Amino acid sequence: MQTDALTGGFADAPIDAAHAFRRIMQVMAQPGRIETVTGGTPPAPLSQAGGIVLLTLCDPETPVFLAPSRDTKAVRDWITFHTGAPFCGPEEASFAVGTWEELNGLPFPIGTAEYPDRSTTLIVECDRLSQDGATLRGPGIKDTATLSLPERAAFQANAKLFPLGLDHIFTAGDQVAALPRTTKVS
């Protein structure tokens, strides 16, 4: 393990993790909302927000799949040191990180009728996030919201699987947004 893996975690772990967790939960509870997260600096090519989501939500019990663009020694060492999360293939992933082009269509778990929570959360690394594009409706949205999505059809099909399906967290730089499986996209 390189010494670079030892840096870039939360400076004040309890406080930074609590602030990050709150922001991540806010975007999950209010699809279309974009928040800024701070406190960690992962190695490239992970975005700051992507790394902070991993720092906040992953532990030794949450297997992580890294798409090819994010699967580097530096990223693996950093995740291992700071979270202890094991690495896996898409079929066993609790979390997956990569671009939409890399993650879309892979065989991620969508949960079961008995355990719908045993699905994968995709951390989709984007060039930018903006509150324009697809129209969102559903829990946590007063009337409608909008969010720039890489496409619409896959998210529409995912919502039809409810209570099964994938949850999505979008990251770009230090920004984070989310699209839970309960959200209808048009």
The tokens for 116 are 């719908």
Backbone angles phi, psi at 97, to 5 degrees: -125, 135
Q: Is residue 44 part of a domain?
A: yes
Q: What is the CATH number of the domain that holds 165?
A: 3.40.50.11310
Q: Is residue 186 part of a domain?
A: no
Which residue range is the domain that position 76 belongs to? 3-181
How many separate domains does the chain show? 1
Longest dimension (CA), the chain: 49
Number of other residues whose CB lies within 10 A of the CB of residue 126: 20
pLDDT at 10 (0 to 100): 84
pLDDT at 79 (0 to 100): 97
HEC secondary structure over the chain: CCHHHHCCCCCCHHHHHHHHHHHHHHHHHCCCCCEECCCCCCCCCCCHHHHHHHHHHCCCCCCEEECCCCCCHHHHHHHHHHHCCCECCHHHCCEEEECHHHHCCCCCCECCCCCCCCECEEEEECCCCCCCCEEEECCCCCCCEEECCCCCHHHHHHHHCCCCCCEEEEEECCEEEEECCCCEEC
Q: Is residue 134 part of a domain?
A: yes
The tokens for 124 are 């989709």
pLDDT at 8 (0 to 100): 75
Predicted TM-score of the model (pTM): 0.96
Q: Is residue 27 part of a domain?
A: yes
What is the residue type of 84? G
CB 126 within 8 A of CB 101: no
Q: Which residues of the chain have pLDDT under 70?
A: 1-5
